[in-house]
Amino acid sequence: MNKELTLTSEDFADVALRSIVATDQDSLRRWKNAHRFAFFYQDIITPEQQTQWFEGYWERPHDFMFIVLAEDAAVGCLGFRMLDSAADVYNVILGVPEMGGRGLMRKAMRLMCSYVLRDFTRDIGVKVLRANPAIEWYNKIGFQETQAHETYVEMRLDLARFQPCRFRITNREQK
C-alpha cells in the first residue's frame, strides 16, 4: 500500500491533504499534546512515543494520517484507519487556532471522507468524548450519533446528508 499520497479537491482549491512523513512528527506531537483533553488518551506524548507510533503507522497498510494544507501551509491533521470493514476517523486537530472557524477542517474532512467512500468503505465512524464540543461540528458535516456510552458517543457518517467532493490523488512515490 502506498502511503505517500496527496489529495486535492476539484471542487475547492484552498485545502489539500498530504499524507504524513517523518518530518511531520514534531507538529503532530505538539498539536496532539495541546489538545489532549479532546481525546481518549490524555497523557503527554514524548518524542520517543511519537517515533514509536510513527514506526508502527508506517507498517500498517490501512492507516492514513494527513496534514491539512491551506494554501500550502500546514494547519492541522486528520486520519482514518480501517478496523475490520469500517473506517475509524481519528486525530482530527486544527493545529493553528488562528485558522479556525473558516471551514478549512470541514473541507479537509469532506475530502478525506470522499476518498474513503470511493476507495475503502461506505461505513465511516468516529468516537467522540461526550464533553467535546466537536460532536456538534461532526453533526454539521453529516455524522450522526449511533451509540451512546458513558463517556463517549459513536457517530457514523450519514450518506444521505454528506456530499462527497470530486478529488484527485497524486502518488508522490511515483513522481
Ligand X SMILES: CC(C)(COP(=O)(O)OP(=O)(O)OC[C@H]1O[C@@H](n2cnc3c(N)ncnc32)[C@H](O)[C@@H]1OP(=O)(O)O)[C@@H](O)C(=O)NCCC(=O)NCCS
Rule CB under 6 A: say whether 101 interacts with ligand X: yes
CA distance 87 to 85: 7
Q: Which residues pair with 65 in a beta bridge?
A: 79
First-to-final CA distance of the chain: 16
Given 106, 122, 130, 161, the residue binding ligand X (CB under 6 A): 106
Beta carbon nearer to ligand X, 61 or 97: 97
Beta carbon nearer to ligand X, 22 or 34: 34
- Say how many residues touch ligand X, by CB under 6 A: 17
Q: How far is the CB of 134 from ligand X (least distance, A)?
A: 4
Q: How far is the CB of 78 from ligand X (least distance, A)?
A: 8
Nearest-CA neighbor of 165 among 100, 124, 118, 125? 118
**103 contact partners, CB below 8 Å, separation of at least 6:** none
User: Looking at 1-9, 93-101, 154-162, 165-173, which segment touches ligand X (CB under 6 A)?
Assistant: 93-101
**Hey, what's the cell of 110?**
469532506
Rule CB under 6 A: say whether 128 interacts with ligand X: yes
* Contact between 102 and 15 (Cβ < 8 Å): no
* Contact between 80 and 90 (Cβ < 8 Å): yes
Rule CB under 6 A: say whether 132 interacts with ligand X: yes
Q: Which residues bind ligand X (CB under 6 A)?
A: 35, 38, 92-94, 100-106, 128, 132, 134, 137, 140
